[in-house]
């Protein structure tokens, strides 16, 4: 499996992470409101992205001098 590396500054990362988190929360709430688990299945890829971002948010960040 190949890998890709994307570099964000802290503000860019936080903006992306917050956007994805808000979208995931909205999807989950919609699924609950409509009692429809298929909605969650349709957005499985976004949940995977959220998991990766959530893990990355715990990492130590580097400064440009590192």
Q: Give the pTM.
A: 0.84
- Tally the domains of the chain: 1
Summarised one tens digit per residue, pLDDT across range 3-56 is 988 999 999 999 999 999 999 999 999 999 999 999 999 999 999 999 999 999
Question: For position 18, what pLDDT does the model report?
Answer: 98
Q: Is there a domain that residue 1 lies in? A: no
Question: For position 61, what pLDDT does the model report?
Answer: 78
Instruction: Answer for the pair 53, 17: CB distance below 8 angstroms, yes or no.
Output: yes
Q: Is there a domain that residue 63 lies in? A: no
Range of the domain at 37: 10-56
Q: Is there a domain that residue 42 lies in? A: yes
SS (H, E, C) 1-66: CCCCCCCCCHHHHHHHHHHHHHHHHHHHHHHHHHCCCHHHHHCHHHHHHHHHHHHHCCCCCCCCCC
Question: For position 47, what pLDDT does the model report?
Answer: 98
Question: For position 66, what pLDDT does the model report?
Answer: 62
Q: Is there a domain that residue 30 lies in? A: yes
């Amino acid at each position: 499996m190949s890998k890709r590396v994307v570099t964000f500054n802290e503000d860019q990362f936080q903006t992306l992470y917050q956007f994805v988190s808000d979208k995931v929360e909205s999807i989950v709430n919609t699924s609950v409101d409509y009692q429809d688990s298929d909605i969650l299945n349709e957005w499985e890829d976004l949940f995977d992205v959220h998991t990766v971002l959530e893990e990355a948010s715990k990492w130590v960040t580097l400064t440009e001098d590192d």
